[in-house]
Chain A
Amino acid sequence: MTETTEGRIWRFGDNVDTDQIIPAEYLVTMDNSELARHAFAKVRPGMAEKMMQGDVVVAGRNFGCGSSREHAPRALLGAGVSCVVAESFARIFFRNAINIGLPVIEASVEAAEGETISVNLESGRIVVGSNGKQYQFKSYPAFITMLVKKGGLMPYTKEMLQCRK
């Protein structure tokens, strides 16, 4: 994970559920790029084709509520999303994102679709495009920071198991 991520904003409201992020009929693959082709297929048709590497999803409260499908953060990773910034996250989505290496930031920011946003994970600073508005977010608890630094749960588990590779 790089320290600073900069990208174009896709703006969403409250309670974006995992059925919106990746509808259940597409849960027949674990290929991130294939999942990405169907991201937000029902609620924002055509969005998937327009998403680019580095894009940032900015949302309101309870982002990722609903099912435990890891396909949801994987679809976002596959679509090139570098970071999700939301006022709050549903807990399973939050865990999944951390565990597979998608940065998720709890912060309430004023930002419009298409604006640029820069997020510095180390300093906890967010800068939103045209107006240059700055926000500060709280760092994760120590255990989660450790997981993020190691690149997610798999590298950590391999270390705990003393896997050679």
Chain B
Amino acid sequence: MGKTIAEKILSGKSGKDLEAGDITEAEVDYVMVNDVTGPAAFDEFERLCTPLLRDKVVLIPDHYVPNKDVASAKQAKKMRDFAMKHEVTNYFEVGSGGVCHQVMIEQGFAAPGRLIVGADSHTCSYGALGAFSTGIGSTEAATVFARGVLWLKVPDSMRLSVHGDLNPFVMGKDIILTIIGDIGVEGALYRSMEVAGETVSSLSLSDRITIANMGIEAGAKACITPPDKTVEDYLSGRVRGDYGHVLADDDASYVESREYDASEIVPVVAKPHLPSNVAPAGEVGVEIDQAYLGSCTNGRIEDLRAAARIIKGRKVLRGVRMIVVPATNNVLEQAIDEGLVKIFMDAGAFISGPTCGACLGGYMGVLAPGERCVSSTNRNFVGRMGDKDSEVYLANPAVVAASAVAGRIVDPSEVMG
């Protein structure tokens, strides 16, 4: 019997012939923690009796930095102190990093065939590069700091194939939201999703990252797109160390397979309060107070370009504020170089440096009671971006920009004509 990508990577990292359902201890390539999940991991690690495996450890402050308040300043300091004490090279200070998952990808940690764990649920993003990557807790991160291995159950895999040409203004976000709308928020629970097909092969890496990033919103343990030349080209001159492509066998066994026709996918939004509550953007129409463009889901240069294309020469409607948060310093720099920052500022948008910020209701754009935000982020749970009586509508960057102009949620074609 052939193997899925998940079975192959976890077998390789365990030195055993594994199949779905087996529990194993597997060798981890990298373990990442952020300023919110790191501090507990540092405390737990100090209770263990062994040196830090520092080459495997990546420390990225991003959730509440630049420091939001004294309490978050203490957490960020704790990470900095830990990095200095243990001489961790892979520590990305404010000004040299940004949102952790984009940093992990830009800095060449994520690559095909690797096993990467991170104390952040959106660690599944690196599946876009053909890695098996998954979110874990702080305590288990601490044990990986010490032993370099982690117990994992080899997940069942489900295959989601997308075929055909995409419609205008449709992005990776719409593909994954359409899938989550179809299978539900636990449709991939405990499973590895393999998202493939010629539509996915033709996507930019950025769009694939959006898809892999939101696998967790369907409950998935990992969400992988098969690595190919697009991934190779991106990694050239960037990747740390060697890597090899891991692809599924033709006769691999999937617990479920679904097919999607790309021509039927339109720009969509996920309405409150679940990512599965999906409707065509053009049918939503509700008025908005805020439009948020950023996050590990959609804060890359390609996302900013898609939004800038809509908003160029237009204005954010009076009474609406638009907040643009490039995912990393590199993205911000490139956005400046390409003139995108000027386009956003001319439209009346606010530009911030990189942070997770308001995506999780931290700061830099939290919502008041009754306020409504169209957001390029990943979760629309109750109170996710602020008050419990605020609302979040998830959408792709083009929809966010078009809605900022219209003052209500619209399909970008309405603004672009």
Contact = CB atoms under 8 A, between A and B. Distances in A.
Interface of A: 15, 17, 19-20, 23-25, 27-30, 42-43, 61-62, 65-70, 74, 88, 90-92, 95-96, 99-100, 141, 143-144, 147, 152-154, 157-158, 160-165
B383 A19 contact: yes
Contacts of B361: 19, 23-25
Contact of B219 (A65, A144, A157): A65
B56 to A, nearest CB: 15
A30 B43 contact: yes
A111 to B, nearest CB: 21
Contact of B383 (A23, A68, A161): A23
B334 interface: no
Contact of A95 (B137, B185, B382): B137
A99 B50 CA distance: 20
A152 B185 CA distance: 28
B362 interface: yes
B146 A161 contact: yes
B372 interface: no
Contact of B137 (A29, A62, A96): A96
16 contacts: A15-B274, A20-B382, A24-B362, A30-B43, A61-B186, A65-B219, A66-B379, A69-B36, A70-B40, A70-B139, A90-B186, A92-B135, A96-B137, A100-B139, A143-B151, A163-B49
Given A27-B36, A96-B137, A157-B48, A43 B186 contact: no
B360 A24 contact: yes
A76 B369 CA distance: 27
A109 B372 CA distance: 37
A68 B186 contact: no
A47 to B, nearest CB: 13
A62 B219 contact: yes
A41 to B, nearest CB: 9
A18 B140 CA distance: 18
A92 B137 contact: yes
A68 B44 contact: no
Nearest to A43: B382
Interface residues of B, number: 51
A99 B185 contact: no
B72 interface: yes
B136 A68 contact: yes
A154 B139 contact: yes
Contacts of B137: 68-70, 92, 95-96, 99-100
Nearest to A87: B186
Choose among A99, A141, A143 the residue with the greatest number of B CB atoms under 10 Å from its CB.
A99
A126 to B, nearest CB: 22
Interface in B20-74: 23, 36-37, 39-40, 43-44, 47-50, 63-64, 69, 71-72, 74
Contacts of B135: 68, 92
Interface string B377-417: 00101111000100000000000000000000000000000
Contacts of B219: 62, 65, 90-91
Nearest to A73: B137
B186 A88 contact: yes
- The 6 A-B pairs of least Cβ separation, nearest first, read A28-B71, A96-B137, A163-B49, A42-B388, A70-B137, A68-B135
A23 B362 CA distance: 10
B75 A19 contact: no
B190 interface: yes
